[in-house]
Structure 1
Amino acid sequence: MNTRPQHRDGRLDGQTILLLAVNGLFVMATALSGTYFGVYIWKASNDYFKLGWFTLITHLCMGITFWIAGNAAKERNKMILLRLGIAISAGFYALVLLLKGNAINYIWLLGLVQGVATGLFWLAYNVVYFEATEPDNRDKFNGWAGTIASSIGIVVPWTSGWLISLLGGDNGYRAIFISSACVFVAAIATSFFIRNRKTSGSYHWRWPYKLLKERGSEWPTALGALASQGVRESVFGVLIGVLIYVQTGSEMKLGNFMLLTSAVGFASFLATGKWLKPKWRYWGMLTGAVALIAVILPMFAGFSYGTLLAFGLGAALFFPLYILPITAAVFDLIGRDEESVGRRVEYVVARELALNVGRIVGMAVFMGVISFSKTPLAMKWLLLAVGSSPLLSWLFMRKVLARGKRAELSEG
């Protein structure tokens, strides 16, 4: 029996609003400290390679966690996994506080803990997200999730930068790490109001491999698009914040960067989530992908706070056009029929594994480049090469998006 909600008017109900709240709290806790954790490692080591190893280990452990925990999400209680992921995320920052100055010597342990925590949370969250939304309200939900994340980004990273500057290095970082742990606890409390929708059947361990081998299916290309998406995420998520700190030597400047770019992202996610209809996803994603490549070009004039800010503002403006279509279209594929809905956990695992393959590839490329050269020119070409992956993502997705556009027009 189908227990998923029906929202023919595209509205969000109480469960989706609660899920937005949990997501918002998780994003807030991550924004408090995660924005600056790369800088924290950089300041302790002055070594891009250490930062790369932490990120690579995190993504490897995330992928393994997705695959193994998929069994528990399918055959047991996925909400326990979600809360466990949040709790371990809080434990991650407690571990950083415990290790203090020795944290840099335990990069492997920190990467492992972060990977397990993030894997558990996003696996459970994405299954619950699929269960709580429908094709007619999925774009709206994603738009609101992006809007909330951007509004958090306006205030929270700036506040963290201000605290670090006010209290001084170690005391400032200690304050934001403790604050993150407290917000994670609030997210756990909120999650108890979300229903656990039971799944039936046994977990198919080889499902991702099966999808890759399906002839005539849209899934092999969708997984390729997701892997391409992950390539950009891993490198840009790590490198941009550190580059700003290297250029300015100020956490406050990084906070200002996050405030300005998140303000633009807030408006863009709000508008895109409201106005981007399924029939416009094809051209919307292409426009976003091309624009995300174009905004990298100002950095070839030189790394400075101004050129990095120009990139950040442009990326924030166009990122929703790129990310909302691929996210909604992939989850629409999962919900195509009752058989797919019954395998929703396996599909989410396949989605997350594809993203992590891309993240691992992106970080491996990053580490390979910096092992040969750390010059600004090498960094610029690295950013352009990795930052062009959204166009590859669109190329993989274009047939899926085109079919969705034709179906929408025929129904209309």
Structure 2
Amino acid sequence: MPKNNQKLKKTQRLSTHAKNVLINHAIFQFGGSLSVIFVNLYLWRLTNDLWVNGMYNLVALLAQAVTTFGIGKMSKRKGRTTIYRYGIFMTALFYLLLVIVQEAMVHYFLLFALLRGIAQGLYWVAYFTIVHEVSSNENRHRYLGLNQMIMSTANLVAPALAGIVIGLFDSLIGYVLVFGMAFVMFIFATIGSFRIKKESIQHRTYYMKYLSSIIKKKQGFGKALFGWLIIGFPQGIFMYVPAILIYSIFNSEEIVGILNAAFLAVTILASYVISRVAKTENTRQYLWIAAIGLIVSSIFITIEIAVWSVVIFMVTKNVFKPLQGNAYAAYYFQWLDHIPLRSAFRTESVVLRETLINCGRGLGIVVFMIFSNEINTQTVGFVILAVMMIQLLLPFLVNHNKMMEG
């Protein structure tokens, strides 16, 4: 077999800078995975009220969307690396305050939601801009696949560990210990962010005012933007409902953590396969397969909310979600090489992506809150099925020919 078939091409390899970004993101993700599902479960244990969980996540997402849209100009002038560090530090502050107030969080949950949303807005705008800078069209599927693998590995190990820690205590003190562990991880991530090379800022001008002109010239880009709203719809619901579903069946945080780890092992395997074989030109086929797979996954929980249906739903969903996410992200990043302003519009394109996906997540939560006040088959399963069916719109928004025109 020829040597160049045995190894990745030089253009597909990741730079040292890209590897440093991946490593620090893994630390950040591990801290988040330790705690994010258990923050929602903590609120559920304190209130037993889906409305409180819904409002917490909705306010956090709206705050994130507003922060994302508002921070773009500052990111362009101060640099993405600086905003990236602010985001990690504020996330650490969120968990420090949570450790301090503990069960009193229920009285301030909207303020905590605001802080979390602002911190997430800062982090993700900077991170996704950096991702485009450290990868290219030749290795972007590989970077995103490895990124998904690292995130999924953190998501696999951390919740299982957190579930075991929480399960050691009869009271809610286990949650506080987990939040303390998350705080430590985010402090490490803050320190690690100083290893990431600070970019030279060549384009300080903020070009968002030219968006309408860009869309008029490249209508396909406008459709690509709308796709993020569609992708966000189910993600908002999945921020908190699956953990509550599992807890409502087993009544055990340890099982929530272990099952979450098992489900994410499926995501790791799927992400690995995607990183090795996916091609940007096949994006539309991948999106059709993913949409159909996500719809099939949700059919099971319309039958009944039970161990078998929830397990099949989560496993199937975790096979097709990374296929959809990675394929669409690679397609969207490719657009940045074909729109007017090109790399000068990079920060703005990430701001738009994050704003729209969070608006979609928020809309998904609003729909869920309107139609589902409790965990039961009559509402939960059918609301999720309806949201999954919206994913069928996504392949129609992909058009590589439009990208190459003009």
Same fold per TM (> 0.5)?
Answer: yes
- Asked if the contact 2:31/2:185 (under 8 Å) is kept, the reply is yes
Give the length in aligned residue pairs: 396
Distance 2:213 2:247 in 1: 44
Question: Which residue does 1:83 correspond to in 2?
Answer: 85
Change (3 A) 1:382 1:337: closer
In the superposition, the TM-score normalised over structure 2's length comes to 0.93
Secondary structure at the aligned position of 1:336 is classed as coil
The one-character-per-residue Cα deviations of 1:32-87 (angstroms, maximum 9, x if unpaired) are 00021111110111110000111111111111111111111111122111111111
1:391 aligns with 2:402: no
Q: Per-residue deviation at 1:207?
A: 5.0
Give the corresponding residue for 1:147.
149
Give 1:216 deviation, angstroms: 4.6
Distance 1:261 1:30 in 2: 17
Cα offset, 1:354, TM superposition: 1.2
Give the unaligned 5+ runs of structure 2. Answer: 1-8
Q: Which amino acid aligns with 2:387?
A: V
Question: Where do 1:157-236 residues align within 5 Å?
Answer: 157-197=159-199, 198-206=201-209, 214=216, 216-236=218-238
Distance 1:304 1:217, change over 3 A: same
Deviation at 1:370, TM superposition (A): 2.8
Q: Is the 8 A contact 1:232 1:386 kept in 2?
A: yes
Q: Tell me how large the CA RMSD over aligned residues is.
A: 2.0
**Cross-structure match for 2:363:** 361
For residue 378 of structure 2, what is the amino acid of its counterpart? L
Out of 271, 274, 294, the position equivalent to 1:272 is 274
Instruction: Show the counterpart of 1:64.
Output: 66
Give 1:199 shift.
Answer: 3.5
CA separation in 2, counterparts of 1:189 and 1:287? 41
Residue type of the alignment partner of 1:191: S
Contact preservation (8 Å) 2:291, 2:388 = no
- The residue identity in structure 2 corresponding to 1:50 is V
Q: 1:210 to 1:227 in 2, by over 3 A?
A: farther
Which digits, 9 at most, give the CA deviation of each residue in 1:350-393, with x for residues without a partner?
1111112211211111111135x764311111111112232222
Distance in 2 (CA, whole Å) between partners of 1:393 and 1:37 is 31
Letter matched to residue 252 of structure 2: S
CA offsets per residue over residues 298-355 of structure 1, 9 Å max, x none?
Answer: 1122111221111111111222221111001101111336722111111111111111
SS at the partner of 1:196?
coil
Paired position in structure 1 for 2:329: 327
CA distance in 1, matches of 2:166, 2:108: 23
5 Å-filtered alignment, 1:2-41, equals 9-41=11-43
More displaced, 202-211 or 359-368? 202-211
Q: Please tell me whether the aligned partners of residues 220 and 402 of structure 2 are also in contact (alpha carbons under 8 angstroms).
A: no
Q: How does 1:332-351 map to 2 (within 5 A)?
A: 332-336=334-338, 339-351=341-353
Structure 1 stretches lacking a partner, 5+ long: 1-6, 408-412
Letter in structure 1 aligned against 2:63: C
Match of 2:319 among 314, 317, 320: 317
The aligned amino acid for 1:156 is: A
Residues 129, 334 of structure 1: alpha-carbon distance in 2 compared, 3 angstrom cutoff: same
